[in-house]
Amino acid sequence: MKKEAFYFPHFSNARHDRKIRRLRKELGVEGYGIYFMLLETLREQQDLMYPLEDLDLLAEEFGVSEAKVKATICGYELFEIDAEEKFFSPKMLVYLEPYFRMKEQRREAGLKSAAKRQLNESSTTVQQSKEKESKVKEIKVKETKVLTAREMIFEKWYKYKAEKKQSYTPTGKDALIKTWSSYSDEQLERIIDTSISNNWAGLFAPKFEVAPQAPSQPQLPRTTISIPDNY
């Protein structure tokens, strides 16, 4: 896997900077090379900082003495050291800020584009699903048998039996309807509701109540009146 090459600006007139000129005067071209190798090292770090305690590793990598590496970092105000003993380049942070901002803007634009694309794909999928569901419903409606009023009453019973993992064959349904054909729709509904409410396995005709008679008027006691013969 190819390692990512990180970017940082290198101005063509960097060698004329006063601090770098002092570095070049005292450490020569070697110091100039150490300076830019340190910048490259910082750019490779996620936080753009590097611990001072590992300068010996850098010296070994650069092929120079640890003293020269430390002198480049601490002697020419080209780097700063934070409270955690890590050195960094203030100029690098300033120069890279527009680059990081542009990178972040591109990242956000990419996320928005991906989200929009995903939304469009999702909308298309939902639309296709709705169209398919609509076609399925249309087919089912065409295939659905038109039920009679009596058959619709029995649908409640069929649903109840289905919940108990039981069902009727078409022949069984016809026989059931025929069995209860002598009852009115109102009576049949009461029979089905009663069987369901009692959790019965079958349909049983209850004794339908007779409408209560109006209470009879109380009979007043008869009074015998004697009528004289000469009245």
The verdict on residue 167 lying in a domain is yes
| E strands in the chain | 50-51, 80-81, 86-88
The verdict on residue 144 lying in a domain is no
Distance CA 184, CA 189 (A): 9
The SS3 assignment for 5 reads coil
The verdict on residue 175 lying in a domain is yes
Structural domain range at position 174: 149-197
* Tokens 């584009």, located at residue: 113
- Per-residue pLDDT at 108: 82
- Per-residue pLDDT at 3: 52
Distance CA 40, CA 21 (A): 19
The verdict on residue 78 lying in a domain is yes
How many distinct structural domains can be found in the chain?
Answer: 2
- Per-residue pLDDT at 38: 95
Strands of the 80-81 sheet, one edge to the other? 50-51, 86-88, 80-81
The verdict on residue 189 lying in a domain is yes
Among 190, 199, 189, 205, residue whose Cα is nearest residue 160: 199
Give the domain-ending residue among 71, 88, 105: 88
The verdict on residue 123 lying in a domain is no
- Other C-beta atoms within 10 Å of 225: how many? 5
The verdict on residue 188 lying in a domain is yes
- Per-residue pLDDT at 213: 54
The verdict on residue 118 lying in a domain is no
Distance CA 165, CA 230 (A): 92
pLDDT values of the chain reduced to their tens digit, one per residue, 231 residues: 445 556 667 776 788 889 999 999 999 999 999 999 999 999 999 999 999 999 999 999 999 999 999 999 999 999 999 999 999 999 888 888 877 677 678 888 888 888 888 888 877 777 888 888 877 777 665 555 667 888 888 888 888 989 888 888 988 888 888 888 888 888 888 898 998 988 888 888 766 544 455 555 555 555 555 555 554
